[in-house]
């Protein structure tokens, strides 16, 4: 039987994440939206707390790193790290999406290391904050077009190429960079490599100025004759033509529900504030039952958006639950992201419209939330790419047939 309550053991985590969202993120939300590229030093204390929780084994860290640490389920039917991260991330992003993306030690690269790294690598790189560098000027939605190369030279891999849009690319201690061992062999030759900051040949070229999530740094990083130890490759260096981008898929199956959770958090924040602001204008949204015919148009709109948000939330917890229980969840992970990001974009923007001047002005955070929400329908695979993945799976078509 499916129980849709928040699991008892995860309630403290959800409460803590909510408090961080409310008392740490919200007060500095506008500050780091305005001061783009300034490091949010207030988060350092949060990072130490999360690190302590993870090291102590008692926490279910609400972030990519925390997720992956707890992922090693013991085969029992359970709610584990994926559920914890999804629920925690919802609350953190209710506070602020950009700040949630820049919590030290909780990068997407950390998820990749945990998902595909060996036990030795997880130990060696465990203390690092790792960003993920897949996208290139010529490789966005289609990662198989990656042009960054990696060649073996004695005991070292030599990387050459340029990565764009690297979240935490400047602040993180390392990046997990995707590179091809042999372009002629397509997807199967693409591998990921951990490159630590300070490695000669790795340069952060610039930071992007963005529409939203301005508290999070987005960098262009280049590699020129960049030499890293041979055992910094994640997974096997063997090129197995039938395996494709399996390591990446494994990571995305875990991380897409997290992005969905982010969208749910910020959309819920918008809905809650809109309810409050409309109440001041005498529009009181109480309960759906019995009010359908008499509801004010704005009130009815709130109910519709709440229903959409709940549908997205249910898809998201399902995808996370499946991951925790080792049930293949590629379709559900993509469905949750496609639905939640689309609904999140719609809700945050509609709330701006519903609240008039309060929605569009900078006194409230509604306009910021609409800007922050947009990226959630772009990174980790756009809306269109999620649809494509779902269609391929449902129709059992290979990517060569449906693209
Ligand atoms: C703020 C920000 C942070 C990011 N962080 C990271 C990060 O940390 N690491 C990283 O590697 N990348 C990151 N990205 C990159 C992000 O994942 C890509 O932008 C995204 O995958 C889309 O790639 P693209 O921008 O090259 O668009 P394109 O691939 O050029 O797509 C452009 C448009 O065409 C559509 N499209 C493309 N192919 C198809 C198709 N086959 N069918 C239908 N429609 C299609 C897309 O949906 C999109 O709407 C980030 C991007 C941004 C903006």
Tens digit of pLDDT for each residue in 152-168? Answer: 999 999 999 999 999 99
Distance (Å, whole) CA 32 – CA 210: 12
Domains of the chain and any CATH numbers: 8-121 (1.10.540.10), 129-234 (2.40.110.10), 246-395 (1.20.140.10)
Asked if 235 and 191 count as a contact pair (C-beta separation under 8 A), the reply is: yes
> Where is average pLDDT lowest: 46-50, 53-57, 347-351, 378-382?
53-57
Average pLDDT, the chain: 89
Ligand 1 center from residue 254 Cα (angstroms): 18
Q: What is the pLDDT of residue 39?
A: 96
| Residue of 33, 174, 382, 400 to test ligand 1 pocket, by largest number of atoms within 8 Å of CB | 382
Q: Which helix (H) or strand (E) holds 164?
A: strand 156-167
Nearest atom in ligand 1 to the alpha carbon of residue 388 is 42
Q: How far is the CA of 165 from the centre of ligand 1 (A)?
A: 9
Q: Which two tokens stand for residue 361?
A: 């002005």
CA of 135 to the centre of ligand 1 (A): 8
Structure tokens at 12: 């403290």
Mean pLDDT of the region 334-363:
97
- What does the pLDDT look like over 103-147, one tens digit per residue? 998 898 988 898 889 999 999 998 999 999 999 999 999 988 999
For residues 122 and 341, what is the distance between their CA atoms, to the nearest angstrom? 31
200-218 mean pLDDT: 98
- For a mutational test of ligand 1's pocket, the pick from 141, 218, 262, i.e. the residue with the most ligand atoms closer than 8 A to its C-beta, is 141
Q: What spacing in Å lies between the alpha carbon of 140 and ligand 1's midpoint?
A: 5
| Range 207-235 average pLDDT | 97
Residue 56 confidence (pLDDT):
45
**Cα 166 to ligand 1 centroid, rounded to whole Å:** 12
Nearest atom (ligand 1) to Cα of 134:
11
Percent of the chain with pLDDT over 70: 89
- Which residue's CA lies nearest to atom 25 of ligand 1? 140
- pLDDT class for 35, splitting at 50, 70, 90? very high
Instruction: Give me the pLDDT at residue 79, please.
Output: 81
Nearest CA owner, ligand 1 atom 7: 166
For ligand 1, atom 35, name the residue with the nearest CA: 384
Ligand 1 pocket test, pick from 98, 165, 248 with the greatest ligand atom count within 8 Å of Cβ, gives 165
The confidence score (pLDDT) of residue 55 equals 53
Q: Which residues line ligand 1 (CB under 6 A)?
A: 108, 131-135, 140-141, 165-167, 210, 218, 375, 378-379, 382, 384-385, 388, 403
Would you state the pLDDT for residue 65?
A: 42
The rounded distance, in Å, linking the Cα atoms of 128 and 395 is: 40
The rounded Å distance from CA 259 to ligand 1 centre is: 14
Token couple for 25: 């993120």
Give the nearest ligand 1 atom to 383 CA.
Answer: 47
Query: What value does the mean pLDDT take over residues 69-93?
Result: 77
Q: Which atom of ligand 1 is nearest to the CA of 178?
A: 11
Q: What is the DSSP string of 342-375?
A: HHHHHHHHHHHHHTHHHHHSSSSSHHHHHHHHHG
The verdict on whether 380 is a catalytic residue reads yes
Which of ligand 1's atoms lies nearest the C-alpha of 141? Answer: 29
- The whole-number pLDDT of residue 311 equals 97
User: How far, in Å, is the centroid of ligand 1 from the Cα of 164?
Assistant: 11
- Going by alpha carbons, the residue nearest to atom 48 of ligand 1 is 382
| Contact indicator for 220, 204 with CB cutoff of 8 Å | yes
Lowest mean pLDDT across 143-152, 277-286, 383-392 = 277-286
Enter the tokens of residue 217: 């740094």
Which of 91, 299, 367, 380 is catalytic? The answer is: 380
Residue 399 pLDDT level (bands cut at 50, 70, 90): confident
CA–CA dist 273, 275 (Å, integer): 5
CA–CA dist 340, 275 (Å, integer): 20
Q: Indicate if the pLDDT at residue 67 is higher than 50.
A: no
Lowest mean pLDDT among 80-94, 157-171, 249-263, 285-299: 285-299
Which of 9-13, 20-24, 50-54, 202-206 is the least confident region?
Answer: 50-54
Distance 5 CA to ligand 1 centre (A): 35
Can you give the length of the chain in residues? 403
Helices (H), 139-183: none
| 54: confidence class by pLDDT, cuts 50, 70, 90 | low
Q: Which mutation among 101, 135, 371 tests ligand 1's pocket best, with the greatest number of atoms within 8 A of CB?
A: 135
Q: Is the pLDDT of residue 243 over 80?
A: no
pTM over cut 0.75: yes
Residue 89 to residue 97: CA distance in whole angstroms: 9
Residue 246's pLDDT is what?
63
C-alpha–C-alpha distance, residues 263 and 259, integer Å = 6
List the residue whose alpha carbon is closest to atom 27 of ligand 1: 140
């Amino acid at each position: 039987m499916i129980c849709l309550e928040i699991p008892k053991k995860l309630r403290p985590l959800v409460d803590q994440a909510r408090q961080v969202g409310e008392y740490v993120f919200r007060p500095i939300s506008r500050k780091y939206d305005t001061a783009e590229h300034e490091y949010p030093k207030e988060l350092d204390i949060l990072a130490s707390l999360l690190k302590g929780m993870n090291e102590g084994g008692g926490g279910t860290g609400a972030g990519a790193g925390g997720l992956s640490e707890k992922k090693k389920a013991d085969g029992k039917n359970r709610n584990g790290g994926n559920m914890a991260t999804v629920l925690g991330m919802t609350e953190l992003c209710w506070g602020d999406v950009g700040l949630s993306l820049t919590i030290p030690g909780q990068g997407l690269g950390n998820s990749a290391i945990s998902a595909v790294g060996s036990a030795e690598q997880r130990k060696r790189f465990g203390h690092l904050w790792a960003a993920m560098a897949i996208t290139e000027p010529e490789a966005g939605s289609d990662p198989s077009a990656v042009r960054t190369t990696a060649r073996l030279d004695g005991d070292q891999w030599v990387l050459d190429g340029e990565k764009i849009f690297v979240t935490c690319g400047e602040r993180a201690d390392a990046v997990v960079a995707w590179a091809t061992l042999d372009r002629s062999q397509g997807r199967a030759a693409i591998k990921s490599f951990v490159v630590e900051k300070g490695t000669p040949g790795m340069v952060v070229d610039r930071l992007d100025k963005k529409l939203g999530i301005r508290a999070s740094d987005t960098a262009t990083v280049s590699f020129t004759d960049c030499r890293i130890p041979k055992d910094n490759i994640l997974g096997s260096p063997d090129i197995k033509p039938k395996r494709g981008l399996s390591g990446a898929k494994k990571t995305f199956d875990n991380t897409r529900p997290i992005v969905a959770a982010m969208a749910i958090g910020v959309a819920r924040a918008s809905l809650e504030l809109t309810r409050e602001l409309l109440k001041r204008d005498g529009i009181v949204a109480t309960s759906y039952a019995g009010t359908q015919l008499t509801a004010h148009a704005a009130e009815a709109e709130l109910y519709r958006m709440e229903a959409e948000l709940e549908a997205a939330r249910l898809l998201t917890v399902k995808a996370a639950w499946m991951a925790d229980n080792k049930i293949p969840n590629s379709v559900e992970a993509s469905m949750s992201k496609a639905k939640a990001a689309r609904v999140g974009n719609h809700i945050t923007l509609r709330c701006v419209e519903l609240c008039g001047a309060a929605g569009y002005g900078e006194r409230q955070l509604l306009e910021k939330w609409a800007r922050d929400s947009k990226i959630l329908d772009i990174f980790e695979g756009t809306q269109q790419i999620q649809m494509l993945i779902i269609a391929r799976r449902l129709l059992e078509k290979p990517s060569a047939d449906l693209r």
